[in-house]
Amino acid sequence: MATHNILEAFRLDGKVALVTGASRGLGQGMALGLAEAGADVVAVSTRLDNLEQTVAQIEKLGRKVLPVACNQANFPEIRAAIAKTVETFGTIDILVNNAGTIRRSPAVDFSDEDWDAVLDTNLNGVFRFCREAGKIMVEKGSGKIINIASLLSFSGGITVPAYAA
C-alpha cells in the first residue's frame, strides 16, 4: 500500500508570497510556513532590521526571500513594495495582509490622528495591497489573497474604536 503525504498536495514550489507584518507573531509564522511549503517570500515590515530573524529562517529553509521595508499606511511605499516584488520575482501569487496597528483610548477621547493612523494601516493599507497585487493576479488569471483580521472586529472593544471599526 502506497503512503501519501497530504502536505504534498499543498506544495507551493515556484510560487511567490508577499506577507505583511512578517517580522513577528502570526506574520512571521505564515512567512515561514509558506517557505516550508516551497514558496519564495517577500517579507514586509515597517523596518528592515525587524526582519533579520525572519529572513535568516527562510534562507535556512533554502527559499529565496526579499525583505522590504514598507509603512502600510503609505500608498507610495505599498506601490514600491509591489514593484520590488515583481522586479525580483516576476510576479505575486499569494498576498497575506497581516500587518496591523492598534491605539487604545476610550471612544470619547480617541483623537482623529489615532483614528486615521489605525484606519490608514488596517483598512486603507489592506485595500491598497489587495488592489495592487490583485492587478497582477487578474492579469495572469490566478492568485490568492489572505486577509487576517482580529476577533475584536466581531466583538469590538471599549478602548479600541478604530481597531474594531
Alpha helices in 95-150 (DSSP H): 112-119, 126-140
Active site residue 30: no
Catalytic residue among 54, 96, 118, 163: 163
CA dihedral 47, 98, 94, 120 (to 10 degrees): -80
Starting at the edge strand found earlier in the chain, the sheet holding 65-69 runs 65-69, 40-45, 16-20, 94-97, 144-147
Q: How far apart are the first and last CA of the chain?
A: 53
Quote the CA–CA distance of 110 and 130 in Å, as a whole number: 28
Measured N-to-C along each axis, helices 75-89 and 126-140 cross at an angle, to the nearest 10 degrees, of 30
Of 159, 125, 156, the C-alpha closest to 20 is 125
Quote the CA–CA distance of 48 and 61 in Å, as a whole number: 20
Q: Which residues are catalytic?
A: 163
